[in-house]
Amino acid sequence: MSSAAEVDWVEVGTLDDIPKLGSRIIKSPDGDIALFRASDDQVFTILNRCPHKQGPLSEGILHGHRVTCPMHNWVIDLESGKATAPDVGCSPTYPIRMEGQQIYLGFSLQSQGGA
């Protein structure tokens, strides 16, 4: 997601809404977005589709700051959205802002049709 575009911050829940090493789905105009909570309580967001065969990343296994797709075991870095070598591909990530326990997801105003 381009940082040059203006961002609309949307409250999507609290840290406690996502289990450690778990995920939650957020519906958006871009499609389903997966929110992940790592063991260190960092939160990551990524489009809920593996770049390989569109597998549901939210159903994968979280390890560190990566998730393994449940369909074909591709490993996706949650910070960049990129598949790890030898695989090649990328799923879009979204900015996150934390205010205490509240989680805010950043949407480009451009991706929402300029709304």
Ordered by start, the domain boundaries in the chain are 19-93
pTM reported for the whole predicted model: 0.86
Does domain 19-93 fall into CATH 3.40.50.300? no
Extended beta strands in the chain, E state: 7-14, 22-26, 33-37, 43-47, 61-63, 66-68, 75-77, 96-99, 102-108
Residue 68 β-bridge partners:
61, 75
| Phi and psi at residue 57, to the nearest 5° | -60, -30
Q: At 40, which amino acid appears?
A: D
Give the residue carrying structure tokens 């799923």.
91
Tens place of pLDDT for every residue, the chain, 115 residues? 444 568 899 999 999 999 999 999 999 988 999 999 999 999 999 999 999 999 999 999 999 999 999 999 999 999 999 999 999 999 999 999 999 999 999 988 654 444 3
